[in-house]
């Protein structure tokens, strides 16, 4: 039987040319995070499936979860996101580690969803989080990093927006309609679909949750509005709440740091994950070719409780590789990709009898810190120089019978044509 040479649906091979843009994205992520003093970590690719079923939402923790059984029948899942995994990891040592904990990771994830533009079944994400600090300053730092990550790709003015809301504000409004805590999660999951499905479908889902028809209309009007004034007009008492005042402080801080053009309050922003319990935000691509949320994050102080551990403070975000790749492509930012090339030394085999000696020369050059591509088979000097030119190697190391006789090897600069002899010993 002939096997297919294609990867599974929704997953992709990256040849070096395609990998270059991913490496650029990963390197940029890592550079920004380390500049803020974040430490890199990693968790297993497989987790107990219940880790995600508990709080990741009905899609990611349900129908999109890729689940397997091990030999004794335990259900394991390929990780669809990092937040529950890193929370599980930290729940073992949270009391031993100095606070705040600043962690980041770059890892691959899997979701059994329909492949489409910006969504693959295997994808890569940066996750950066602060643990053990509940202050507004931690929220602010995460928001600042989210903006700086975008700015690191040198995008044009107005190419992205960071929308901000707070789950506590949402909870307040939902409760003001007399909706119980038991129904709140389902309602927020439904409201998170605003803009993704029709108004009629949203209202039907809310009615099916047992909400009265006149209340459904009010809820939809408030949460589908982009108008902060309507939000305040309907609930004037919110202006005196600590959570609203804290939200205003965040905007004030961001403005003082020069980020005001990038940020906006958005009442309809929900974030579909059940574990968020404070600040929530999303970074949105404004390009007409790709008008979509690229990534988001927020505060999730209570997630550790699913592991039987006392709640500890946590706030973070998770940019993905594919949405950023589309952002770079649609805003014509590929020219910003700087490929750092090492000066490569190409060492051809000009005489079969000298192959071992060329290996010794290659070893010597590598010990000097040089990058050496050793030819595996004999080539004429003309063919060797042609190969070096085609592959963009900067230097060719020439070692044949004449060089052996003189006790040297020659290094030819392929750009200038200059040759230098180096004593072979």
103/83 Cα distance (integer angstroms): 11
Q: Is 102 annotated as a binding residue?
A: no
* Confidence at residue 275, expressed as pLDDT on a 0 to 100 scale: 79
Whether residue 59 has pLDDT greater than 80: no
Nearest CA to 323 out of 266, 283, 288, 263 is that of: 283
Place of tokens 């403070």: 313
Q: Is 204 annotated as a binding residue?
A: no
Q: Flag the least confident range among 56-60, 192-196, 319-323, 407-411.
A: 56-60
- φ, ψ for residue 42 (rounded to 5)? -155, 145
Q: Are 384 and 348 in contact (CB under 8 A)?
A: yes
Q: List the chain domain ranges.
A: 8-154, 344-423
* Confidence at residue 266, expressed as pLDDT on a 0 to 100 scale: 86
| Helix orientation angle between 181-191 and 167-176, rounded to the nearest 10 degrees | 120
pTM of the prediction?
0.85
Per CATH, the number for 344-423 is 3.40.50.800
* Confidence at residue 243, expressed as pLDDT on a 0 to 100 scale: 86
Here the tokens at position 264 are 């906006």
Per-residue confidence band for 270, with pLDDT thresholds at 50, 70 and 90? confident
81/344 Cα distance (integer angstroms): 39
Q: Are 144 and 279 in contact (CB under 8 A)?
A: no
Q: Is 220 annotated as a binding residue?
A: no
What is the biggest distance separating any 2 CA atoms in the chain, rounded to whole angstroms? 97
Q: Is 276 annotated as a binding residue?
A: yes
Cβ neighbours of residue 72 under 8 Å, at least 6 residues apart? none
Whether residue 180 has pLDDT greater than 80: no
Per-residue confidence band for 210, with pLDDT thresholds at 50, 70 and 90? confident
Q: Is 271 annotated as a binding residue?
A: yes
For residue 58, count CB atoms less than 10 angstroms from its CB and return exposed for 0-12, middle for 13-18, buried for 19 or more. middle
The helix or strand, by DSSP H or E, that contains position 67, with its residue range, turns out to be strand 67-69
Q: Flag the least confident range among 82-86, 168-172, 372-376.
A: 168-172
Cβ neighbours of residue 402 under 8 Å, at least 6 residues apart? none
Per-residue confidence band for 227, with pLDDT thresholds at 50, 70 and 90? low
Per-residue confidence band for 264, with pLDDT thresholds at 50, 70 and 90? very high
Q: Flag the least confident range among 75-79, 128-132, 234-238, 339-343.
A: 339-343
Nearest CA to 28 out of 342, 393, 330, 327 is that of: 327
- 222-244 mean pLDDT: 76
Per-residue confidence band for 162, with pLDDT thresholds at 50, 70 and 90? very high
The residue among 99 and 274 whose pLDDT is bigger is 99
Q: What is the mean pLDDT of the chain?
A: 90
Q: Is 325 annotated as a binding residue?
A: no
Please report, for residues 12, 13, 195, 211, 231, the alpha-carbon distance to residue 2 in angstroms, rounded to integers and kept in the order given.
Answer: 20, 20, 45, 56, 61
Instruction: Name the percent of the chain lying above pLDDT 70.
Output: 96
For residue 417, count CB atoms less than 10 angstroms from its CB and return exposed for 0-12, middle for 13-18, buried for 19 or more. exposed
Whether residue 62 has pLDDT greater than 70: yes
- 49-72 mean pLDDT: 83
Per the DSSP assignment, residues forming a β-bridge with 396 are 346, 412
- 62-86 mean pLDDT: 91
Within its chain, how far is the Cα of 260 from the centroid?
24
Which of 195-199, 212-216, 404-408 is most confident? Answer: 404-408
Here the tokens at position 163 are 């929308």
- φ, ψ for residue 187 (rounded to 5)? -70, -45
Whether residue 67 has pLDDT greater than 70: yes
- 239-261 mean pLDDT: 92
Whether residue 181 has pLDDT greater than 70: no
Whether residue 230 has pLDDT greater than 80: no
Q: Is 82 annotated as a binding residue?
A: yes
Give the CATH number of domain 8-154; options: 3.30.930.10, 3.40.50.12780, 3.20.20.140, 3.90.1010.10: 3.30.930.10
Q: Is 36 annotated as a binding residue?
A: no
Whether residue 134 has pLDDT greater than 90: yes
Q: Is 148 annotated as a binding residue?
A: no
Within its chain, how far is the Cα of 118 from the centroid?
13
Strands 160-166 and 263-265: parallel
* Confidence at residue 381, expressed as pLDDT on a 0 to 100 scale: 93
pLDDT (tens digit per residue) in 319-350: 999 999 999 999 999 887 866 667 999 999 99
Instruction: Name the percent of the chain lying above pLDDT 90.
Output: 64
54/51 Cα distance (integer angstroms): 6
Per-residue confidence band for 172, with pLDDT thresholds at 50, 70 and 90? confident
Per-residue confidence band for 223, with pLDDT thresholds at 50, 70 and 90? confident
């Amino acid at each position: 039987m002939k096997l297919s040479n294609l990867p599974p649906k929704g997953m992709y091979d990256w040849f070096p040319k395609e990998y270059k843009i991913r490496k650029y994205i990963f390197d940029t992520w890592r550079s920004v995070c380390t500049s803020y003093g974040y430490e890199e970590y990693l968790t297993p690719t497989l987790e107990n499936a219940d880790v995600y079923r508990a709080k990741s939402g009905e899609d990611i923790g349900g129908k999109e979860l890729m689940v397997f059984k091990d030999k004794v029948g335990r259900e394991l899942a390929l990780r669809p996101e990092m937040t529950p995994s890193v929370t599980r990891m930290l729940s073992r040592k949270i009391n031993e580690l100095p606070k705040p904990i600043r962690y980041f990771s770059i890892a691959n994830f899997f979701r059994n969803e329909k492949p489409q533009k910006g969504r693959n079944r295997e994808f890569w994400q940066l996750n950066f989080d602060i643990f053990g600090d509940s202050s507004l300053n931690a929220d602010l730092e995460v928001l600042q990093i989210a903006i700086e990550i975008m700015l690191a790709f040198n995008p044009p003015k107005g190419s992205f927006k960071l929308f901000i809301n707070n789950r506590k504000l949402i909870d307040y409004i939902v409760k003001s309609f007399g909706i119980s805590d038991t129904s709140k999660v389902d309602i927020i999951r439904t409201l998170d679909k605003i803009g993704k499905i029709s108004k009629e479908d949203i209202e039907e889902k809310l009615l099916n949750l047992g909400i009265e028809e006149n209340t459904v209309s009010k809820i939809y009007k408030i949460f589908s509005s982009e108008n902060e004034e309507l939000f305040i007009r309907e609930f004037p008492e919110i202006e005196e709440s600590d959570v609203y005042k804290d939200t205003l402080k965040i905007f004030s801080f961001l403005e003082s740091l020069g980020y005001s053009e990038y940020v906006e309050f958005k009442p309809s922003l929900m974030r579909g994950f059940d574990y968020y319990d404070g600040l929530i935000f999303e970074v949105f691509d404004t390009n007409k070719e790709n008008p979509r949320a690229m990534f988001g994050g927020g505060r999730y102080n209570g997630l550790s409780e699913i592991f039987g551990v006392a709640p500890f403070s946590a706030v973070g975000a998770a940019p993905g590789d594919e949405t950023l790749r589309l952002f770079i492509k649609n805003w014509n930012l590929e020219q910003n990709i700087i490929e750092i090339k090492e000066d490569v030394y190409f060492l051809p085999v000009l005489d079969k009898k000298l192959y071992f000696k060329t290996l010794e020369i290659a070893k010597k050059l590598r010990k000097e810190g040089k990058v050496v591509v050793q030819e595996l088979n004999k080539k004429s000097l003309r063919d060797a120089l042609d190969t070096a030119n085609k592959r963009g190697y900067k230097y060719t190391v020439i070692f044949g019978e004449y060089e052996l006789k003189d006790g040297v090897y020659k290094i030819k600069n392929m750009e200038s044509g200059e040759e230098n002899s180096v004593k072979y010993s």
